[in-house]
Amino acid sequence: MGPERTRSEYRGVPHDVGRHRRRHPRDRQDVQAADQRHLQPDHGHDLRCGVDGRERELGVGRSDRSQGWAWDLGGDVPRAGARRRVAGRGQVLIEVLLILPVFLFVVFTIMEIGFLAFHTILLHHAAYEAARIASLTASATASPGCTAPALSGAYQDVVAKMFKTGATAVAHGPIPTMSDPQEGCMNYDVAVTVSRRIPMVFPLTGFVLGNTPDRRARVIQATVRMPIERPLFK
């Protein structure tokens, strides 16, 4: 029996094939040149695989997009495209955190102005009613001396019925205006000022709209002037 044959010889391949073969230097140079050669992109393959121009420029393929990260061929560092996407998410979050307080402050200020405008209109209506009552209840007597009328406190009762708390009414007068040529006496007016403290409803609006020391409320005033009616003497 001859020498024991190896498994490769049973398959028809000599066991010492390539053992004594020396690699030619040209083969090594070809391999090194192939490693350093810049490969041209296959745009047709990109179109078939669904890769757009931006991803082709960054070197991101379909497998990279499915995993969410793009890795270099020779290392474990994420590519610039993946890092840019992650940084973009953080940038959006920071922009929202910076803009949201300003946006909410503008919205709250607009709604607070509407709330104060409603109470301003309400106070003007109350001041008109109080001035009308003050002009009708003033004791203006008809006499040759043309004495000045005296005001009564009936207007304060009207304001107290309109606003249970927080409202004050002050009457100024009688205020002389001009002489009546037919009667020969001076005419008078009465001015009623109604004030009320309106608390702020929305946060942060008191720094702009508040006029109290604590910046938590705004005092609104409404003044209405009304002529005092008196009987004709002549």
pTM score, two decimals? Answer: 0.56
What tens digit of pLDDT does each residue of 32-84 get? 666 566 556 555 555 555 555 555 555 554 444 444 444 444 444 455 555 66
User: Residue 150: beta bridge partners?
Assistant: 139
CA distance 144 to 183: 9
The per-residue pLDDT for range 107-166, each reduced to its tens digit, is: 999 999 999 999 999 999 999 999 999 888 888 665 556 778 888 888 888 888 888 888
Cis peptide before 174 (omega within 30 of 0): yes
What is the C-alpha to C-alpha distance for residues 155 and 128, in angstroms, rounded to an integer? 10
Q: How many residues does the chain have?
A: 234
pLDDT for position 22: 54
Q: Give pLDDT, residue 117.
A: 94
3-state secondary structure at position 169:
strand
Q: What is the pLDDT of residue 161?
A: 87
Residue 214 DSSP symbol: T
Q: Which residue has the higher pLDDT, 171 or 114?
A: 114
